[in-house]
Amino acid sequence: VTADFLDELTLRAMEERDLDAIVELEKLSFPTPWSRQSFESELFRNSHARYAVAEYQRCVIGYGGMWLVCDETHVTNIAVHPTFRGRGVGRLLLRTMMLTATMLGATRMLLEVRPSNRVAQKLYFAHGFRPVGVRPKYYSNDGEDALILQCDQMEVTGAADSWN
């Protein structure tokens, strides 16, 4: 991976041809990964959903998704391939999602995160998220609670571009 790695990243809307890579990335990233059918339904049957992928040398190495309803955005998932973590891809995905959400009229962004997921929390806190509640026993595989985080001032500088 070169120093100008981030310059070689492309952010674009997720397409059907990405789904094999996305399903693999899901399995590497979450204990209860979403199925291919879940992503198909997000792409083709949910008009509120927007999904972006980060591509490096023609490989999908990260993705982020959200639902936009009125002025609110709910992040569904954000994941980066383990090999490419810690190099700014997650930050770029989040900022690009914020830019796209802002352009589509959203003023705030919400998400759930595991209290044990310090890496993700650090990313979110650095972007203006704050805890607004807890969903008890939210995660079905182990019964861990979810922290609900909300951001009212979306960071739209330093994004790659809007992808949608």
Would you please indicate which residues are annotated as catalytic (active-site) residues?
112, 124
| Closer residue to ligand COA in complex, CB, 19/123 | 123
Q: Which residues contact 124 (CB under 8 A, 6 or more apart)?
A: 94, 111, 113, 149, 151
Shortest CB 54 distance to ligand COA, Å: 9
Q: Interior CA angle at 23 toward 149 and 51, to 5°?
A: 50
Q: What token pair was written down for 114?
A: 């595991």
Mask of contacts with ligand COA, 47-86, x by CB under 6 A? Answer: -------------------------------xxx----xx
Q: How far is the CB of 17 from ligand COA (least distance, A)?
A: 21
Q: Is 91 in the site for ligand COA (CB under 6 A)?
A: yes
Binding-site member from 1, 59, 103, 126 for ligand COA (CB under 6 A): 126
Binding string, residues 12-51; x marks residues near ligand COA by CB under 6 A: -----------------x----------------------
Residue 44 vs 142, nearer CB to ligand COA: 142
Instruction: Kindly state whether residue 117 participates in binding ligand COA, applying the rule CB under 6 A.
Output: yes
User: Binding residues for ligand COA, per CB under 6 A?
Assistant: 29, 78-80, 85-91, 113, 117, 119-120, 122-123, 126
